[in-house]
C-alpha cells in the first residue's frame, strides 16, 4: 500500500511541477511583473531559465525518486514471497 500511494502521489505532484516549471509564461500572463533580470525583462528570461535549468533539475529529482519507488515496489513484491521471474526486463 505504501509504495502504491507513493507512486501515485509522485506521478501527480511531479507532473504538476513539470507543467508549472515549463509554463512560467502562463503564470506571468496572469500576474505580470515589471523589471529586469540579467539585463532582460523578467517576464522574458525567467520562463527561459526555468524551462531549461528548472526542468533539468526536476528530471534529476524525478529519476532518483522513480528509481527508489521501483525498488520499494520490488521489495513489497519480495515480501509476498513471489518469485523474481517477472522482474523488470
CB of 22 to another protein, least distance (A): 4
Residue 74 in the binding site for another protein (CB under 8 A): yes
Extract the C-alpha cell encoding 48: 527561459
CB of 1 to another protein, least distance (A): 7
Residue 72: partners with Cβ closer than 8 Å, 6 or more residues away: 2, 3, 6
Residue 55 in the binding site for another protein (CB under 8 A): yes
C-alpha–C-alpha distance, residues 35 and 33, integer Å: 7
Residue in 9, 11, 33, 35 binding another protein, rule: CB under 8 A: 11
Extract the C-alpha cell encoding 56: 533539468
Cβ atoms 74, 87 nearer than 8 A: yes
Using the structure block, give the residue that is written with the C-alpha cell 520562463.
Answer: 47
Residue 6 in the binding site for another protein (CB under 8 A): no
Using the structure block, give the residue that is written with the C-alpha cell 513539470.
Answer: 18
By CB under 8 A, name the binding residues for another protein: 1, 4, 7-8, 10-11, 14-15, 18-19, 22-26, 28-30, 32, 38-41, 43-44, 47-53, 55-56, 58-60, 62-63, 66-67, 70, 73-74, 76-77, 80, 82, 86, 88-89
Amino acid at each position: 500500500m505504501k509504495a502504491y500511494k507513493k507512486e501515485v502521489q509522485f506521478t501527480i505532484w511531479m507532473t504538476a511541477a513539470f507543467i508549472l516549471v515549463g509554463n512560467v509564461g502562463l503564470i506571468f500572463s496572469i500576474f505580470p511583473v515589471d523589471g529586469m533580470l540579467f539585463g532582460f525583462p523578467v517576464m522574458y528570461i525567467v520562463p527561459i531559465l526555468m524551462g531549461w535549468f528548472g526542468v533539468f533539475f526536476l528530471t534529476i529529482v524525478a529519476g532518483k525518486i522513480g528509481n527508489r519507488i521501483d525498488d520499494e515496489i520490488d521489495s513489497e513484491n519480495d515480501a509476498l514471497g513471489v518469485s523474481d521471474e517477472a522482474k523488470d526486463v
